[in-house]
Amino acid sequence: GMINCAALSDVGRKRQVNQDFLVLNETSALYVLADGMGGHSSGEVAARVAANALNDFVTMANEPQEMTWPFGYSTSIPYEHNVLKTGVSLANLRVTHLAELEEQYAGMGSTLLAVWVRGEKAFYSYVGDSRLYLLRDSQLRQLSEDETLVQELLRRGVITPEEAKRHQMRHVVTRAIGMRGRLDVEVREQQLQKGDLLLMCSDGLTDRLTDAELCRTLSGEDSLDELCRSIVESANAAGGDDNITVILLRHL
């Protein structure tokens, strides 16, 4: 299973700093997106530290060698699940430690979304509200679930989907990298077919574009680079009040 990859990260129209960070590790076929939060650009630090910690661990796990599993190893789940769980937990530990050590980093955090392609399968894990979508047969499906207050209210039927779109609390995440205590990390997998397109993106994109608009744009015949550009341009045209980051993965 070969992967074609393109990405674009844009500061947007209203922000001075890009606190989104991405890793495209084509050797390991690991793709990571982190959307940092925190004042004085500490969100930038959180995103970078989180994404790199995860990438470092997966890179090690991709090589046949003796591994140390700082959080233990579970034989009841696949190797890839153990790897991503450990990598995400390490990311959380690094960010939490740094926030405790340095006063200017207090309270910083980040979302984290990782996709690791092994053969015909995509293993993925996420914390926060960066999204993963699958486009197959002109159908766009969100594989991740937003870990936000609004999603929680939606699930409980307190608000309608229409209200959710405009809700002033829509940026409040219920989970983030940098939260104290042990993070319960879930790993999921998606069987891939030839021609599948995976979209990883920060909420600066999905806040501005509906799934229908996304689907329309992604169904174009353009190259992945051009698709990245048109998605980011559309989001900027629709407001661009946050950083916008897009990673596109095509399964060949």
CATH number at residue 242: 3.60.40.10
Render pLDDT for 66-125 as a digit per residue (tens, 0 to 9): 889 999 999 999 999 999 999 999 999 999 999 999 999 999 999 999 999 999 999 999
Position 44 scores a pLDDT of: 95
pLDDT mean across residues, the chain = 94
Render pLDDT for 216-240 as a digit per residue (tens, 0 to 9): 999 988 999 999 999 999 988 988 7
Render pLDDT for 11-54 as a digit per residue (tens, 0 to 9): 888 888 889 999 999 999 999 999 999 987 799 999 999 999 99
Render pLDDT for 144-179 as a digit per residue (tens, 0 to 9): 999 999 999 999 999 999 999 888 888 899 999 998
Position 159 scores a pLDDT of: 96
For the chain, the DSSP string reads --EEEEEEEE--SS-SS--EEEEEETTTTEEEEEEEE-TTTHHHHHHHHHHHHHHHHHHHHTSSS----TT---TTS-HHHHHHHHHHHHHHHHHHHHHHH-GGGTT-EE-EEEEEEETTEEEEEEESS-EEEEEETTEEEE-S---BHHHHHHHTTSS-HHHHHH-TTTT-BS--BT-SS------EEEE--TT-EEEEE-HHHHTTS-HHHHHHHHTSSS-HHHHHHHHHHHHHHTT--S-EEEEEEEE-
Can you give the residue range of the structural domain that contains 60? 3-251
Mean pLDDT for the stretch of residues 206-221:
90
Position 170 scores a pLDDT of: 84
Single-letter code of the amino acid located at 214: L
List of long-range contacts for 61-70, beta carbons under 8 Å, 24+ apart: 61/87, 62/27, 62/28, 62/30
Position 213 scores a pLDDT of: 93
Cβ atoms of 27 and 56 closer than 8 Å:
no
For the question of whether the overall pTM of this predicted structure is more than 0.85, the answer is: yes
Closest by CA to 103, choosing from 54, 177, 38, 50, is: 38
Residue 65 has pLDDT above 70, yes or no: yes
Position 181 scores a pLDDT of: 77
Q: Which residue has the higher pLDDT, 1 or 91?
A: 91
In angstroms and rounded to an integer, the radius of gyration of the C-alpha atoms of the chain is 17
Number of domains making up the chain = 1
The confidence band for 1, taking pLDDT boundaries of 50, 70 and 90, is: low
